[in-house]
A and B are shown apart, each in its own frame.
Chain A
Amino acid sequence: MDKTNQSGNSVEFPSKKGQSVSRRNLLKTGSAVVAGTAIGSNAITGFPTIWAQNIKNVTLRQFGTGVSNINEIAKRAKQDLGITLQMTALDTDSTAQRVVTQPRSFDIADIEYFTLKKVWGSGNMQPMDIRKLKYYDQIVGTFKNGKLTPSSKIAQGTAPHTVSFVENPTDRKFAKGQTNWYTMVPTIYNADTLGIRPDLIKRPISSWTELLNPEFRGKASILNIASIGIMDAAMVCEAMGEVQYGDKGNMTQAEIDKTMAIFTEAKQAGQFRAFWKTFDESVNLMASGEVVIQSMWSPAITKVRSMGIPCVYQPLKEGYRSWGGGLGLSRNLAGLELDAAYEYINWYLSGWVGGLLMRQGYYSAAPATSKLYMSEDEWGFWFEGKAAKNDIVNPFGQKMEPAGAKRDGGSFYERMGKVECWNSVMDENRYMVRKWNEFIAS
């Protein structure tokens, strides 16, 4: 109910680009990465399959946060599939509310994994049959067994793979390992850290502890979404050496109390200028100079930078806090609509959307398919962490980075490999939320 539908800048979208780039890339990279033929033909011709004629008249109602519920995706889906998508953008807390309280109001839920953990038990969603997911093989390991590469260690918190599978379609409990029923198809994720204004701070920042450094009194901010904010807070307290956590993603009451005590003290000392809830708020805080250091999401940084204001997504020695989101299906979907939803989700993973998201600074769950829709330079900059050869332009035509720039934190593997914890729903969630509210109110 916290409605946060918004609208943004009117955008110019180079609609031809996706196709031409993909063609060029396809020629160049050939079958190098992807299960070639299907994607190749799709990319070029759109998406004509068996259902194409029937599903043309289907309307799917999707909601999610403003980051991925953008009208461009709906427009393109209409073009490629004929499906009409009604997008509603909400803030993170409201997405959980929507699943739980208005199950008949949506067909597709675009939510975060920690939200999924909260709401799955309501029985308002249904899992997907993996056999119907064309690009399941392309999805990175993080969303299957938790390992980015076979040797990676699994981060703390609500790691996506822990809530990704159920044994049976009607189960309300998650399965331990991988099964044939996928609760949500991952679409978007990133490694988060602190954003800073280097021009106003004027010295290197290397640790999460700086968020509470009295030097930035009245110029710091943190996000007010309990399940995410508590993780940022834990990163800070752990880095300060004030609290040792058994598992940051599943704190005890005592750990929660200690963490909140430290932050409450800082708040009362005037450390924070404001709290934010949606990523545009964080952009406004940073761009206006009200805040110089804060928890921030990657595209918010790029947005500030595109305004010509210096802003860095500072990699920190303690690692990143990560989040991920995906598309889930409403329990009420059936028949033709359900087919259309599968079709849409397959299309979503087929690369165009992934490219759109990657070129804003997020990661796609199936990066290999997205590569087809990015120029070599874009891929090099956003994914491989290489220096840009030309100016980097976002999908909306705004210049993000000049030639020669490098992505903060480096390549995909460097960034996602240093994830320390995921946004979490803990066993003590009820207690944590109460304490978090008290912190906000204190």
Chain B
Amino acid sequence: MKRYNPIVLIAQVSPISAILGLFLIVPIATILIVSFWDYSEFMLLPDFVWTNYYDTLSSFVTYKTYLNTFKYTILTWFFTLLIGFPVSYFLCFHVRTLRWQIVLFLICTIPFWTSNIIRMISWIPFLGRNGVFNSMLISLGLTNEPLEFLLFSDFAIVLAFVHLYTLFMVVPIFNSMMRIDRSVLEAAIDAGANGWQVLTNIVIPLCKPGIAIGSIFVVTLVMGDYITVRMMGGGLRASVGVMMWNEISLLLYPPAAANAVVLLVVVLILVSLMMRVVDLKKEL
């Protein structure tokens, strides 16, 4: 086949390059530059100082916040995987017709198309001190005092994350599972493998790329989150995103930028670790 005409090629890739250049690369470069600037109450002072990084990295609160964010990330990752894997497995191997797969899949996706914020606040009347769940527990006689940890707590935050992001885990795993050659499974069963062995020796290894892609989604979404922690934590809990947002809303752009750079580095390290499991190009 012929080589590409360079003019055609340039025409094809320039729109995406221009958009990502202007709205991704240049803005991140801006953050990097501003993270070294000084600031006053109301203005940015171009400069080259390390104080923003120093303030960020020398405060024990930063480490606590990162620790907290990692906690949310790991818990969310764990539960989305714990839920997402069996759900995909069910859809893929137990639902026999394509039509039903599509129908069930749609049932799962429909709530996903509702505003995230609305899905989040919908937990509040549900979990509050006088909410549906507590009233139910009390009327069933399971508890006398309403359970307070249900809302404005780490529990509520992780619950909301799992609620919001499980689908991001289901889709790539489902995609990986659908590509598993059924004859391999049948061969294994014919060779005497039991269900558990099939699962651990064939299905899980072959799903690794899907799990990795799902994990990348979940991890990056949770690491950069601001709104879920703010709303479900009642403003009491901190994550890196919340800390950055507090700084932004107080016009402390340079410290926020320094924080952003640190966050970016952390996320890129995490993602590159996960990328080792998967060759993204081959997975598509």
Contacts and interface: CB of A to CB of B under 8 A. Distances in A.
Interface string B231-264: 0001110100011011111111001000000000
Contacts of A33: none
Grouping DSSP codes into helix (H, G, I), strand (E, B) and loop, the B interface class, with mixed when no group exceeds half, is loop
Contacts of A276: 235
Q: Which of B43, B130, B235 has the most CB of A within 10 A?
A: B235
Given A122-B42, A433-B250, A288 B129 contact: yes
Contact of A274 (B130, B236, B248, B249): B236
B106 to A, nearest CB: 32
Contacts of B251: 96-97, 100-101
Contacts of B152: 273-274, 290
Nearest to B240: A441
B55 A434 contact: yes
Contacts of B252: 433
A2 B249 contact: yes
Nearest to B125: A288
B190 interface: no
Nearest to A439: B61
Interface string B44-82: 000000000001000101001100000000000000000
A288 B151 CA distance: 12
B113 to A, nearest CB: 22
Contacts of B238: 440-442
Contacts of A2: 245, 249
Contacts of B130: 288-289
B55 A272 contact: no
A273 B55 contact: no
Interface string A211-229: 0000000100000101000
A150 B97 CA distance: 86
Contacts of B245: 2
Nearest to A272: B236
A261 interface: no
Q: Which of B41, B43, B245 has the most CB of A within 10 A?
A: B41
A437 interface: yes
Interface string A77-91: 000000000000001
A197 interface: no
A218 B147 CA distance: 12
Contacts of A440: 235-236, 238, 242, 246
Nearest to A120: B42
Given A224-B235, A433-B250, A442 B64 contact: yes
B224 interface: no
B41 A429 contact: yes
Given A218-B148, A441-B61, A273 B42 contact: no
Contact of A441 (B65, B128, B151): B65
B236 A438 contact: no
Contacts, number: 82
Interface string B16-38: 00000000000000000000000
Given A122-B42, A218-B148, A275-B235, A226 B61 contact: no
A294 to B, nearest CB: 12
Contact of A121 (B42, B61, B247): B42
Contacts of B148: 218
Interface in B121-155: 128-130, 148, 151-152
B152 to A, nearest CB: 5
B273 to A, nearest CB: 26
A99 B42 CA distance: 9
Contacts of B246: 437, 440-441
Given A96-B251, A97-B249, A226-B250, A442 B234 contact: no
Contacts of A425: 41
Contacts of A91: 249
Given A274-B235, A289-B130, A290-B128, A118 B42 contact: yes
Contacts of A275: 234-236
B14 to A, nearest CB: 31
A44 interface: no
10 A-B pairs closest in CB distance: A274-B234, A275-B235, A441-B238, A122-B42, A93-B249, A438-B61, A100-B42, A118-B41, A441-B61, A437-B246
Given A288-B128, A441-B243, 7 more contacts: A94-B249, A119-B42, A274-B235, A277-B235, A290-B152, A433-B252, A440-B238
Interface of A: 1-2, 91, 93-94, 96-97, 99-101, 118-119, 121-122, 218, 224, 226, 267, 272-277, 288-290, 425, 429-430, 433-434, 437-438, 440-442
27 contacts: A91-B249, A94-B249, A96-B250, A97-B251, A119-B42, A121-B40, A122-B42, A218-B148, A224-B235, A274-B234, A274-B236, A277-B235, A288-B128, A288-B130, A290-B128, A290-B152, A433-B250, A433-B252, A434-B255, A437-B61, A437-B247, A437-B250, A438-B61, A440-B246, A441-B65, A441-B238, A442-B64
Interface of B: 40-43, 55, 59, 61, 64-65, 128-130, 148, 151-152, 234-236, 238, 242-243, 245-252, 255
